Amino acid sequence: MAFRPLHDRVVVRRIEAEEKTKGGIIIPDTAKEKPQEGEIVAVGSGARDETGKVNPLDVKVGDRVLFGKWSGTEVRIDGQDLLIMKESDIMGVVQA
């Protein structure tokens, strides 16, 4: 990827929701909501505190995360639909 986020920002790729429910019902595209789960693709160097010290981010590339429905800014980079958001918009990391 030819993009590096600055400071405490991260780049997230949405993980697409299932096409079917557990009962086997197929969900049409018009009824689907945007997924709130994604994978971290790139991270910035971290946020600076009052003294100028850089505090590293808690997330790393490859982490699966949950974020708010309206979090981030949607962008298209290298033909991929991605989100750029601050680390504070992430609610948590999904443990495998």
Provide the Cα torsion 34, 14, 39, 69; round to 10°: -30
Domains of the chain in sequence order = 9-93 (2.30.33.40)
Provide the residue-wise pLDDT of the chain in tens; the chain has 96 residues: 678 889 999 999 988 766 655 666 766 666 556 668 999 999 999 988 899 899 999 999 999 999 988 889 999 988 889 999 999 999 999 987
